[in-house]
Copies of this chain bind each other. A is one copy, B any other.
């Protein structure tokens, strides 16, 4: 045993060692990792925590089951040893804690070895995948097999299709709302029971991947951002390869244009003229894809407006930059673009461009390709360039409030985030991804993780923003491990009634709290931070 070993809560080194032996006996020796060098990859890669507390989210071990049966085996051993597991599909939930568990010492159940693409149906346009299948994997499979279906990749392509979908991640094609494109799950409960949801509940059923929910209550939502079960298979709808694509881009000159841009975009999204999530990016977010901060400014603290303006001129971009794709038969795409071009062109100072692609040309990309690959259904890693923005050992911590799709709300959130970020020394690296009625406002504090002062400021900023945004009625759709309890506590309607309901479901499905304690603020009985107004009745 190593002096630096992390143990599960309330577990002696001896009991833990016996449990690891038991796990190895059912999973195989190579499928149980406990050496500190092996566990390093399962810590929060961008932890904002202070040096004296680097292991707050450290796992005690990692289990790598290769099958549903081994997931059941792992649950059986964990139950007997009274140990909790933190399931991850691949663990690329970067910016929110990576593969690290909320509670120090929880064992990570890493499902990456379950990486089969079980079915792709070209006619009905869906895939059935296991948790270890990444967006890269699925994209490569479709290309290799010559199947004319597109994936919708999130910003970074190495993540798990299931993992991203369960966290309600999104992309930028018309299939960008990943949770809405999920259809049918297989879930292993804490008891080890295997459940198939929706029409998968019918043995030999023909609609498991075709019809969301089924007969009776719909339970799929229960397993999103959740610790109520382990999703081992998931159906995902795929977009038939469009006949043509037009990548559309508009830049807007003034900081205050955000309001008009949002109010112009909303009716176009509602009328399906712009039929995928459009992205409105700040100048810094755009610039980080093609340059480093030191190219523009060398000082500490946020870039001053003069440096920002110089950067914007030199890069020939806007203060705000809009991107979206149009997809389908050429006549439809052209009709959509004429309408959108006219609408955005009416904003003073707007500049618009568009790049057409036919089915054969989709593998290439326009000159500024940072955000374009995703619009073409191609997974990439270029979003990781953000880490080099500030130099040093780059890391980011994301704050993701939901924003009503009105210009007034977007401006209010932007100014609040911009000013608080500046107060803590950060540039506004952010953007809005637009569903018809609601925007995902994503801000990233980019910091040097080797610098304790920057880490501390990033953490302070995140907590401050979560608090101030929540108080203004703007909830976060997702949160870093360090913020999970705080955001859960904001769900305060009627004495946290929704959380208490979920806790009752938790107690019913996982009475001993084996699965992912603390995930999204849901703790097992006995570990709950809030007073239980109304009790468990």
Interchain nearest-CB distance for A107 vs B (Å): 22
Interface: A50 (CB within 8 A): no
Contact A272 B271 (CB under 8 A): no
Contact B502 A215 (CB under 8 A): no
| Given A502-B216, A502-B217: A194 in contact with B329 (beta carbons within 8 A) | no
Interface: A57 (CB within 8 A): no
What CA separation (Å) do A179 and B121 show in the bound complex?
25
Considering only CB atoms, which chain B residue lies closest to A200 in the complex? B493
- In chain A, residues 121-135, which have Cβ atoms closer than 8 Å to a Cβ of chain B? 123-126
Contact B271 A470 (CB under 8 A): no
| Given A332-B335, A474-B206, A502-B217: A402 in contact with B509 (beta carbons within 8 A) | no
What sequence of 0s and 1s flags, for each residue 462-505 of chain A, a beta carbon within 8 Å of any chain B beta carbon? 00000000100111111100000001101111101111111011
Contact B215 A221 (CB under 8 A): no
Contacts of A494 in B (CB 8 A): 193-196
Contact B271 A210 (CB under 8 A): no
Contacts of A313 in B (CB 8 A): none
Interface: A220 (CB within 8 A): yes
Contacts of A228 in B (CB 8 A): 217
Contact A180 B222 (CB under 8 A): no
Q: Place the interface of chain A in its size category.
A: 35 or more
Of B218, B224, B331, which one neighbours A338 at CB under 8 angstroms? B331
Contact A205 B329 (CB under 8 A): no
Contacts of A180 in B (CB 8 A): 180, 212
Contact A493 B203 (CB under 8 A): yes
Interchain nearest-CB distance for A282 vs B (Å): 22
Binds B, one of A139-147, A296-304, A403-411, A420-428: A403-411
Contact B406 A492 (CB under 8 A): no
Interchain nearest-CB distance for A82 vs B (Å): 16
Of B126, B215, B223, B505, which one neighbours A505 at CB under 8 angstroms? B505
Contact A221 B219 (CB under 8 A): yes
Interchain nearest-CB distance for A236 vs B (Å): 12
Considering only CB atoms, which chain B residue lies closest to A204 in the complex? B473
- In chain A, residues 13-40, which have Cβ atoms closer than 8 Å to a Cβ of chain B? none
What CA separation (Å) do A487 and B452 show in the bound complex?
60
Contacts of A496 in B (CB 8 A): 201
Interchain nearest-CB distance for A492 vs B (Å): 5
What sequence of 0s and 1s flags, for each residue 137-165 of chain A, a beta carbon within 8 Å of any chain B beta carbon? 00000000000000000000000000000
Contact A273 B501 (CB under 8 A): no
Contacts of A473 in B (CB 8 A): 202, 204-206
| Given A215-B479, A493-B202: A197 in contact with B125 (beta carbons within 8 A) | no
Contacts of A272 in B (CB 8 A): 174, 272, 275, 328
Contact B125 A211 (CB under 8 A): no
Interchain nearest-CB distance for A289 vs B (Å): 27
Considering only CB atoms, which chain B residue lies closest to A227 in the complex? B217
Considering only CB atoms, which chain B residue lies closest to A438 in the complex? B210
Considering only CB atoms, which chain B residue lies closest to A242 in the complex? B271
Interchain nearest-CB distance for A465 vs B (Å): 15
Contact B205 A522 (CB under 8 A): no
Contacts of A367 in B (CB 8 A): none
Contact B207 A217 (CB under 8 A): no
Interchain nearest-CB distance for A39 vs B (Å): 27
What CA separation (Å) do A438 and B212 show in the bound complex?
10
Interface: A508 (CB within 8 A): yes
| Given A125-B437, A509-B501: A216 in contact with B207 (beta carbons within 8 A) | no
Interchain nearest-CB distance for A200 vs B (Å): 6
Of B202, B226, B521, which one neighbours A491 at CB under 8 angstroms? B202
Interchain nearest-CB distance for A463 vs B (Å): 16
Contact A201 B498 (CB under 8 A): yes
What CA separation (Å) do A478 and B199 show in the bound complex?
12
Interchain nearest-CB distance for A175 vs B (Å): 11
Contact A406 B201 (CB under 8 A): no
Contact A211 B477 (CB under 8 A): yes
| Given A213-B221, A224-B218: A492 in contact with B202 (beta carbons within 8 A) | yes
Knowing that A205-B475, A217-B225, A240-B270 are A-B contacts, what are 17 other residue pairs whose CB atoms are under 8 Å apart, sorted by A's residue number? A125-B436, A125-B437, A191-B534, A195-B501, A201-B492, A205-B473, A207-B403, A207-B438, A209-B437, A211-B477, A215-B488, A216-B488, A273-B328, A332-B332, A332-B339, A334-B335, A504-B508
Those 8 A-B pairs whose CB atoms lie nearest each other, nearest first = A218-B221, A201-B491, A508-B508, A201-B498, A216-B520, A210-B438, A331-B335, A206-B473
Some 5 contacts from A to B, beta carbons below 8 A apart, are A194-B497, A201-B498, A219-B498, A239-B270, A240-B271
